[in-house]
Amino acid sequence: MIVKEEFLSRLRKIFDLNLYEVKVWTALLSRGTSTAGELSNISDVPRSRTYDILESLEKKGFILMKLGKPIKFVALKPGEVVERVKKNLATETKERTKRLEVLKEDDVLTELTELFTKGVKFVESSDMSGSLKGRQNLYNHLDMMIREAEKSITIVTTREGINRKMEALMPSLEKCKKRGITIRIAAPIDNNNLNVAREMKKVAEVKNMEGINARFIIIDSNQVMFMLLDDEKFHPNYDIGIWVNTDFFAKALEQMFELAWKDMKAVK
């Protein structure tokens, strides 16, 4: 059986399987029913690992073990596998969420926080910086920055960026608004995002930024995150952001932004 590496790679990402698992699974799909030895030969997976792999696939709901001698394994319909994986993922997510919620009241979190607090004491504020890869990681960090804001939030984004921020950051921005934090958003506004811009006006002052293409956020005049790539040209997985905690740079960037902000037109 010959299966293209590209196809195997796609299956690994979609179903969260390792290379041996996806090889054995596709081998079994091609046979319907087979023994571990046969699958080892077909898939080029070492015989010593095949039983462990089949046991793993069975637990994950991809295959069934057929009773009898020799022991055989039965492939399930791919559509059924998808449904089982979805249910297992939902159950696992629910259980992990419960554990994390319980952790908030646990001594473990207290000890972890104490370790972090002690560690931060030895770190210069200018050293509190780093890079993030992937848009989801960027938005997770942006959300954290916004939730920890105390005075002000300045967001400069793109035409599509304001749509994404509406979806990803609105709950945290609403809480900041209730706490009296000043929020400003600047982005190129057109017919494709005008409704979103008007919705964002519920929590922020929103202005149309014409002729400028930029992506950054300033928190409390001391933290900055800026994105390095054009979001229209690069895939979200390759997006890169730089986060820095420095009064000097944040205030300088904010002062330059103030000059442009005065000339921008408010969204109506």
pLDDT at 119: 56
Bridge partners of residue 241, in order along the sequence? 132, 227
Q: What is the pLDDT of residues 138-171, one digit of tens each?
A: 999 999 999 999 999 999 999 999 999 999 999 9
Of 146, 145, 148, 157, nearest to 213 by C-alpha is 157
Domains of the chain: 5-76 (1.10.10.10), 129-266 (3.30.870.10)
pLDDT tens profile 55-72: 999 888 888 888 778 888
| Average pLDDT score over residue span 246-267 | 91
What pTM value is reported for the model? 0.61
Strand partners, 35: 72
Q: How confident is the model at residue 199 (pLDDT cuts 50, 70, 90)?
A: very high
**Using only C-alpha atoms, what is the Rg of the chain?**
26
pLDDT 10s digits, 4-45:
888 888 889 888 899 999 999 999 999 889 999 999 999 889
Per-residue 3-state assignment (H helix, E strand, C coil) for the chain: CCCCHHHHHHHHHHHCCCHHHHHHHHHHHHHCEEEHHHHHHHHCCCHHHHHHHHHHHHHCCCEEEECCCCCEEEECCHHHHHHHHHHHHHHHHHHHHHHHHHHCCCHHHHHHHHHHHHHHCCCCHHHCEEEEECHHHHHHHHHHHHHCCCCEEEEECCHHHHHHHHHHHHHHHHHHHHCCCEEEEEECCCCCCHHHHHHHCCCCEEEECCCCCCCEEEECCCEEEEECCCCCCCCHHHCEEEEEECHHHHHHHHHHHHHHHHHCEECC
- What's the rounded mean pLDDT across residues 208-233? 92
Q: Which residues pair with 245 in a beta bridge?
A: 223
